[in-house]
Chains A and B, each alone.
Chain A
Amino acid sequence: MQLTHKSKAAIMIGLLPAFLIYAVFAIYPILQSFYYSLMEWDGFTDMTFVGLDNFRNLFEDPLFWNSVKNNIYVVLASVLGQIPLALFFALLLNRKIKGLKFFRTVGFLPVVLSTVVISLTWSLIYNSQNGMLNEILRNIGLGVMAQNWLGDTKWVMAAVLVTVIWQFIGLYLIIFLAALQNVPTEVLEAAKMDGASEWTTTFKITIPMIWHTIIVAVILCISGSLKTFDLIYVMTNGGPAHSSDVMALYMFNETFNKLQYGYGSAVSVFIFFFSLILIFIVTKLFGRKLI
């Protein structure tokens, strides 16, 4: 292109603002956390170099492994809850339904709302005294099943996971619906003419034809659910007794409540690599490009 030669300066000027802000506030902190993770530091007094001690302590802390386990639960619940439910409702909506627009609007609504508002609303629903859930159970004569949903170590993860699933079904619903509408109707009609039942066309034709989209959704779902922090922070702050801790919460509390910036940075580094490696494995597994 003609512009190329005289435009070096312009290119620099054009890229600089974005590059600078991004490099300083997104990339640099990560590099810094590698450095801090080798230090012991309370944020005020001088740092001391402790080598890999932070990581050793981290790997020896059962509470940390507990948070990893809960993180995996969140990933599993999202993939096994959101994806099948979203696909199911998308298939229903794809059958020339009246009111399609209404169901789409309503279906996507939770995705737009802030996680904080969702968490607070669901905390009210799960409230042990006046919560909607217990009230419904009492009204239908199942009062014995009423629980302190967020205050009971047995129930808290289940309660949180329901909210997690609820929040994002709509996103995958819309993604699947768009894919389904691209499936050519001739193919389905031809199959029908050949006497294929609806089950057969759904499982042998429709789903294979949108398989690629399903894979994309699964990858999205995994990387999205690794980010869970706000929701649990607001609903339970990891409690009771750490039973709903996830990695980011563990990191947050260890860092800011106990003033262990070095240790917290070590957890950051772990989360960083854990996420990257998991997404890498999943994309490799499904044969998709990483970016």
Chain B
Amino acid sequence: MNSTLPIEKNKNKQNESRIKKRVTRIIIYTLLSLFALINVYPIVWMAINSFKSEQEFTVNQFGFPSKFNFENYANAWEIANLGVLFKNSIFICVTATVVTVIIGALASYFLARFHFKLNKVIYTFFIFGLLIPIHATLVPMFILMKNLGLLNTEITLLFPYIAFHLPITIFILTSFMRAFPKDIEESAIMDGAGIFRIFWSIILPMSRPAVATVIILNFIYNWNEFSFALVLINDPELQTLPLGLANFAGQFTTNYGAQMAGLTMSLVPIVIFYLFLEKEIVNGMTSGAVKG
């Protein structure tokens, strides 16, 4: 039965390949949509259910709420002390990030732009920090802070947060600053600018992209950090958001609505931050990860 003409055969073949292409497309989009769904649905599910009463949640957890119920939010805000948690998290996060980036940038400037005997040793010493498994330091950190009388204070968490994020900060900034041409400082020196003046008004502004990366990295790491907070802080008035939420959920295991409301509220700022600065955050975190 081989009576079809060659041209028609060709057409059939073309048709076939077009259909095949379309089927592949459909499969690809289905798989990608599934991936997207699995990625966001847990969060969306929680956000939607945070508006349902306990009763409605048990009978209808996949639909939209019949009416938006803000009681869970009021409960969560009050019981979990979210106002205090937000305030503490913002303070710790901003302070630690600012200090880390400033002293890290200053150190990077000298490591990247100056020749001195111990340069390489000090640089390696800092970079070694990238290899330290943070959890191996929880116990000695607790003992150290206890000996220094620094357990449970407003500034307790600043010390480990700054110390452990200096390595990645210095790594990124140093490799960026090393790439500048050598004669940059020379003309500045001719003009009589001092060493710190050159840092502040030439090198630092030139490093803006790398500085943005490390600010974002530090901010997200600090905002999400949990284990040091768990070990070093137990005063409810000093807890950060992750610690407070974990404790809250631990105590109110059966109040799903309030838990979901609390979690949703804690997600809002970081999700907004992410949607606005997506490109910078993604670049920062991937370069932080690859380089770390």
Could you tell me which A residues sit within 8 Å of B by CB distance? 1-4, 7-8, 10-11, 14-15, 17-19, 21-22, 24-30, 32-33, 36, 43, 89, 92-93, 95, 97, 99, 102-117, 119-125, 127, 130, 132, 135, 139, 166, 169-171, 174-175, 178, 216, 220, 223-224, 226-227, 229-230, 233-234, 247-248, 251-252, 255-256, 261, 264-265, 267-269, 271-272, 275-276, 279, 290-291
Contact = CB atoms under 8 A, between A and B. Distances in A.
B133 A14 contact: no
Interface string B33-64: 00110111011011000000000011001100
B79 interface: no
Interface string B212-229: 000000001001101100
B130 A291 contact: yes
Closest 7 CB pairs of A and B: A25-B163, A114-B224, A29-B140, A18-B107, A116-B242, A248-B135, A33-B140
A195 to B, nearest CB: 14
Contacts of A93: 32
A113 B162 contact: no
Given A230-B227, A248-B135, A3 B103 contact: no
B182 A120 contact: no
Contact of B282 (A10, A121, A174): A174
Given A26-B137, A216-B290, A18 B106 contact: yes
Contact of B140 (A32, A99, A117, A123): A32
Interface of B: 28-29, 31-32, 35-36, 38-40, 42-43, 45-46, 57-58, 61-62, 103-104, 106-107, 109-111, 113-116, 122, 124-144, 146, 159-160, 162-164, 166-167, 170, 182, 185-186, 189, 195-196, 199, 220, 223-224, 226-227, 230-231, 241-243, 245-246, 249, 256, 259-260, 263, 266-267, 270-271, 274-275, 278, 281-282, 285-286, 289-290, 292
B143 A36 contact: yes
Contact of B58 (A92, A130, A227): A130
A213 B135 CA distance: 27
Given A120-B246, A121-B42, A279 B131 contact: yes
Kindly name the residue among A18, A95, A114, A125 whose own CB sees the greatest number of chain B CB atoms within 10 A. Answer: A18
Contact of A14 (B45, B107, B139, B140): B107
B107 A26 contact: no
Nearest to B163: A25
B97 to A, nearest CB: 14
B129 A22 contact: yes
Contacts of A33: 136-137, 139-140
Contacts of B259: 120, 124
Given A114-B270, A132-B42, 14 more contacts: A3-B189, A11-B116, A29-B140, A32-B144, A89-B31, A109-B271, A117-B245, A169-B39, A175-B290, A234-B249, A261-B143, A265-B143, A269-B136, A275-B131
Given A8-B116, A121-B46, A121-B263, A272 B132 contact: yes
B143 A22 contact: no
Contacts of B263: 117, 120-121
A272 B138 CA distance: 11
Name the residue in A28, A107, A124, A247 with the highest tally of chain B Cβ atoms < 10 Å from its Cβ.
A124
A92 B28 contact: yes
